[in-house]
Each structure stands twice: as C-alpha cells, then as structure tokens.
C-alpha cells in the first residue's frame, strides 16, 4: 500500500494556488488533468476531420440527416451501455468503452485508406463518440472522488479539458493541410489509447479520505432493459437535470442563431456602404476574433475564477449563474437588438458555459449512486442533450416560418426560457442539497486537541509545530484552511511567524521578559464553517 504524505507536497502547494488540496491530492489531479487533456485532444482532432470527409463524399444535405441518425442510434446505444454497466466492474467499463471506440477508429482508418466513402458513417460515429466518451470520463471522475473532494478538484481537472479544446482545433487544422485525414486518425487513436492506463493510475492515486463511497441502493437493477432512460424518468433529481440540460442547450443554440443573424446583417450593412468589402471575409474575421476571445475568457475563468466561485457559493449557487446571465443578456437584446450587445452577451454566456457551467454540471453527479453516475449521466449528456438540439431547431423553424419572428422576438423567447431554466436550476440546487446531505455528514470542523500554552526565552529564536490533528473535520474529503491572529483580531506581532500549511510557529522573542500574547487559531472548511482554539505565548 502506498504511503500517503501527511503534509502538502510541492505539487500540492503549487496547485493550492488555485484551489484547496489535501496532502497527496496533487498527483491524482494531474493524472485526471492529463486524462481529460488527452481525451479532448483526440476528440477535437476527430471532429476536425469529420467535416471534410462528409462534405467531400456526401454533400451538405447529409449533414442535417446525420444529426437525426445520431439521436436515433443513441436510443439503442444507451440501453446497451446500461446492460454492459450492470455486468462488469466500473473501471473495466471505462476501459472497454475506450477500447471499443479505438477499434472503430482503426476500422474507419482501414476503410478510408481502402477508398471507401466513410464520410456519413464517420460523422454519425463522432457524434456518438463525443457523447459517450466525455460522459464516461466524468462519470468515472465522479465515481472516484467523494463529494467534498470533487467540488474542490473538478475545476482543476476541467482545465485539462479546456486546454485540449483550445489547442487541438488549430493544431489539427494545420496537420490536416500537411498530412491529410488518415494519419490524423492514427494520431487521435494514439492519444485515445494513452487514456487507458490513466484509469488505473487515476484510481490508485487518490489518497484515503478523498475517494468516493458507494451509495447504497439497487438503482442498476431497477433500471431494467431501458437502463438510463428508466432511471432518468423515474428519479426526480435526474429528471430535473435532464430538463435543465435541454433548456441550457436550447437557450445557448438559439443565442447562436441570433448572433449569426446579426453578424450577417452587420456584414451586409458594411458591404452596402462599401461594395469593395468582402462579405465572407467580414463574417470569417468576426468569428475568428469571437472564438479567440471566448477561448481566452474560458481559460481565464477556468483557471482563476471557477474554483473560487464554487468555494464562495458552492455548487448550489454556481448552477444559478449562467441562467441569470442569460436572463439579463437576452433581456438587453430584447430592448436594444443591436450587434454589439448580442456580441457581448454571447461572449460572456459562452465563456461561462464552457467553464463554470461545465464544471458545475459534472459536479452535480458527485453525491449519486454509481448507476446514476454512469447510466443516468450518459443518458442525460447524450440523448437529452441532442433532444435540446432538436427542440431548438424546431422552435427556430416555427418562429421563422409560422410567426415571422425577428431578432427581438427570438431574444424574448430566450429570456422566457432562461427564466424557466432559472426555476429549474433552483429546484436542482435544492435536490442537490438533499443528495449531498445523504451522501455525507456536512458537519463543521472541531478542535480535537487542546492547544498548549508556550513559554519562550527572551531574545532567543524558537520554533514549534502543532499536531496535524489539532483540528479535524468529520466530512470525508474536506480540507481545512488555517489562520492565526491575536485575540483582539489584530495581526500577529512581527516577532511571531505562522505557516498555515503546517501549523508551524517560529520567530525570535523580544529581549525583555514579561511579554504575553494570546493567539487565536481558526480552522475553516471549504463551505466556510469554522472552529477556533486559543494559545498563550509568554516571554519569560
């Protein structure tokens, strides 16, 4: 058995700049970070290849059909996935799913090399792959960390996924022009294969006290043949999550339509003023700049903001942020339907969605049973996400062709949908609180050992360290932050130093005897609950 550190390692201290870590968690974070990075690099390479393969072999018309076929096939894939989940170990399941997609990928490579037209089938396959492989990763992550640890560490793990999504499109676009699609498929397969050992390494790297504990229940047996669909439709919390995902996707995709409409109008206005301007160049230039800013904002939010928001307001508060942004943003567009307003709205909406909302929606599964994490999550992130696409497409068609909606009307629809979305988010937050309480104690820290008073010699250096278990927290995966001040709430005197990560006091006592200070040591958990202890230091 591995010997886990009692103090923060160098890696732990480095990552603690972004979120709180328990000793030994840094290694597990980096393994899951690398897993997510490799997964997203592989996916975005495959996504880059699919467009030219489809358009070159089948034409643009078949692209719309591919979405319908993907949604239809997910109706079959999800129950089959559930049947596999109920028969094998969960870590083996993750390896088997990855291995299955690797086999498919090599088959596409061989068929493509042999001259077969794989464009349509490959396009549909990538749609299913994107759903299954990402849902599988986050289900495995939620099944590996307990509720407290997951809320602290998911923001850092998500940075790996974000970096993969930022680097891969530009890299794969360049490589596609240099080496063509078939070597790219092999590169993506190699990256995907590297994730398989990460399953074992990731599981074994999590220190005691940070690992997930299985929730009791027979959810997998109750799911029956329809697996995740049965779980979602018969569980209030999962059903609320499914509705939340539908509205999230609906609002965001309608916002993309509104933005595209105003971009085209803006380009047309510029061309009308100066016919020498290239309309296509204006549109391409806008989206190039837009996506670059979104990507930069997403990375900055993910690295510096998301973990802090989760610490300040928790998962229950974080889930409300994006619908509130949508309500305010589309409300502004209703009354001021101009290009610059929707541009700013979509910048903040997309960046918040790809950072805070992505992290939060994965954390929502942390307190659930394994069946709900794997089968339920895969169903929601797969089928119900695609259902949101279909609902949005139908709504846009009806709005345009039946009611002749313009930008203002679609913005009004989005504002109303965002209000419903906010109501659902409040309901999900309440249910999450119930699930969280059932999964863990959620108790405040307490003083476990009385802190002894200290006597130091005048003019002499001193150093002492309090026991690591001076304060304890009953909750699994909790981490405490320590602060020290005088009993009067003033800062410690200049002759007394405190290292918060090791409960280590040091300094040089004043030259004159008789000085006495009372130090208040406070331990605060991730949710803000705290406990205190006092210690006198006398110079004598």
Per-domain boundaries in the chain: 1-213, 224-439, 446-539
Q: Judge contact between 325 and 348, C-beta under 8 A.
A: yes
CATH for the 1-213 domain, from 3.40.50.300, 3.40.50.720, 3.40.50.2300, 1.20.1250.20: 1.20.1250.20
Residuewise pLDDT in 10s, the chain (540 residues):
356 777 788 999 899 889 988 888 999 999 999 999 999 999 989 988 887 776 555 554 565 567 778 877 888 888 888 888 888 888 899 999 999 999 999 999 999 899 888 888 888 899 899 889 999 999 999 999 999 899 999 999 999 999 998 888 778 777 777 888 889 899 999 999 999 999 999 999 999 888 887 766 555 545 555 667 888 988 999 999 999 999 998 998 888 888 888 888 888 888 888 888 877 777 767 777 888 888 889 999 999 999 999 988 999 999 999 999 999 999 988 888 777 888 888 899 999 999 999 999 999 999 998 889 998 998 998 888 878 877 887 888 888 889 888 888 889 999 999 999 999 999 999 999 998 888 766 778 999 998 999 999 999 999 999 998 899 888 878 888 899 999 878 899 999 999 988 899 999 999 888 889 999 999 998 878 899 999 999 998
Q: Domain 446-539 classified CATH 2.60.40.10?
A: yes
Euclidean distance between CA atoms 221 and 217, whole angstroms: 9
Euclidean distance between CA atoms 517 and 532, whole angstroms: 16
Percentages helix, strand, coil for the chain, rounded to the nearest 5? 70, 10, 25
Same CATH topology for 1-213 and 446-539: the answer is: no
Residue with tokens 């590996």: 144
Nearest to 91 by CA among 379, 365, 370: 370
Token reading at 159 = 């940075």
Backbone CA torsion sign across 413, 414, 415, 421: positive
Fold of domain 224-439? Growth Hormone; Chain: A; (1.20.1250)
């Amino acid at each position: 058995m591995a010997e886990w550190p009692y103090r923060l390692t160098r890696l732990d201290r480095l990552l603690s700049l972004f979120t709180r870590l328990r000793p030994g968690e840094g290694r597990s974070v980096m393994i899951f970070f690398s897993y997510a990075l490799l997964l997203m690099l592989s996916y975005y390479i495959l996504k880059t290849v699919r467009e030219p393969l489809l358009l070159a072999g089948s034409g643009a018309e078949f692209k719309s059909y591919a979405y319908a076929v993907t949604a239809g096939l997910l109706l079959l894939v999800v129950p089959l996935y559930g049947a596999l989940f109920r028969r094998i170990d969960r870590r083996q399941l993750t390896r088997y799913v990855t291995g299955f997609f690797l086999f498919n990928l090599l088959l596409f490579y061989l068929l493509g090399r042999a001259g077969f037209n794989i464009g349509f089938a490959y396009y549909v396959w990538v749609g299913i792959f994107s759903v299954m492989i990402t849902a599988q990763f986050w289900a495995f992550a939620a099944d590996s960390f307990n509720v407290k640890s997951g809320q602290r560490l998911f923001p850092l793990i998500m940075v790996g996924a974000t970096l993969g999504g930022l680097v891969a499109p530009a890299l794969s676009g360049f490589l596609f022009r240099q080496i063509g699609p078939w070597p790219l498929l092999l590169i993506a397969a190699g990256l995907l294969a590297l994730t398989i050992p990460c399953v074992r390494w990731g599981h074994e790297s999590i220190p005691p006290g940070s690992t997930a504990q299985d929730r009791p229940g027979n959810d997998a047996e109750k799911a029956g043949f329809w697996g995740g669909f049965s779980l979602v439709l018969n569980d209030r919390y999962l059903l609320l999550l499914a509705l939340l995902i539908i509205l999230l996707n609906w609002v965001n995709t309608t916002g993309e339509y509104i933005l595209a409409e105003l971009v085209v109008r803006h380009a047309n206005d510029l061309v009308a003023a100066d016919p020498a301007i290239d309309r296509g160049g204006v549109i391409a230039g806008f989206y190039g700049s837009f996506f670059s800013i979104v990507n930069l904002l997403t990375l900055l939010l993910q690295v510096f903001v998301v973990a802090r928001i989760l610490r300040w307001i928790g998962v229950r508060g974080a889930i409300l942020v994006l619908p509130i942004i949508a309500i305010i943003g589309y409300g502004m567009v209703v009354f001021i339907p101009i290009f610059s307003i929707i541009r700013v709205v979509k910048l903040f909406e997309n960046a918040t969605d790809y950072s805070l909302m992505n992290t939060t929606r994965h954390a929502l599964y942390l307190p659930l049973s394994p069946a709900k994490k794997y089968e339920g999550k895969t169903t929601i992130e797969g089928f119900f996400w695609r259902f949101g696409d279909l609902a949005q497409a139908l709504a846009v068609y009806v709005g345009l062709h039946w009611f002749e909606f313009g930008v203002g009307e679609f913005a009004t629809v989005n504002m109303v949908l965002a209000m419903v979305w906010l109501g659902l988010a409040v309901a999900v937050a309440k249910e999450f609180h119930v699930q969280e309480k059932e999964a863990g104690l959620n108790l405040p820290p307490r003083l476990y050992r009385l802190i002894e008073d200290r006597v130091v010699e005048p003019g002499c250096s001193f150093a002492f360290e309090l026991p690591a278990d001076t304060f304890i927290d009953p909750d699994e995966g909790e981490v405490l932050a320590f602060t020290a001040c005088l009993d009067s709430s003033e800062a410690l005197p200049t002759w007394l130093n405190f290292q918060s990560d090791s409960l280590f006091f040091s300094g040089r006592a004043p030259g004159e005897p008789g000085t006495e200070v009372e130090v208040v040591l406070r331990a605060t958990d991730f949710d803000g609950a705290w406990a205190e202890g006092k210690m006198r230091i006398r110079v004598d």
